[in-house]
Amino acid sequence: MAVAKTSPKAAVATKSATSRAKAAKASDNRFQQAKRASILLKHVSDPTRLQVILILSEGERHVGALCAQLSQSQPAVSHHLALLRHGNIIAPRRQGKNNFYSLTETGSELARVVKNLIA
């Protein structure tokens, strides 16, 4: 049985192609991570939304309580809550006719980062 030998040039070419493929995959992964981070940061790029995150870091709140703390109308606060909810930063909980909001794990991490930035 004959064993095929590869030339040193072919072995180098194969290693080089493998290295390029790995580098391309790593680059694509970094791009996807940056894209997700960019979308997340757009969701929190408003002072009111950052305030909501900081308020909710202290515990779950009813929409009415958020309106009072932010001194904003219910439709305005609901708009901000919807954006945060779509960004998976907050999670709603319905109790009867009332909606309560709390931070998700991502929201808690963001709150920690924001607190460290302003401390």
Q: What is the pLDDT of residues 45-95, one digit of tens each?
A: 899 999 999 999 999 999 999 999 999 999 999 999 999 999 999 999 999
pLDDT tens digits, residue range 17-30? Answer: 787 888 888 888 89
- Give phi and psi for 66, each to the nearest 5: -65, -40
Structure pTM?
0.74
Q: What is the pLDDT of residue 41?
A: 87
Q: What is the pLDDT of residue 105?
A: 96
How far are the Cα atoms of 13, 42, 52, 82 from residue 87, in angstroms, in the given order?
Answer: 44, 9, 14, 9
Angle between helix axes 47-56 and 63-70 (nearest 10 degrees) is 120
Contact (Cβ atoms closer than 8 angstroms) between residue 83 and residue 49: yes
- Closest alpha carbon to 117 in 48, 40, 50, 66: 50
Q: What is the pLDDT of residue 10?
A: 65
Q: What is the pLDDT of residue 20?
A: 81
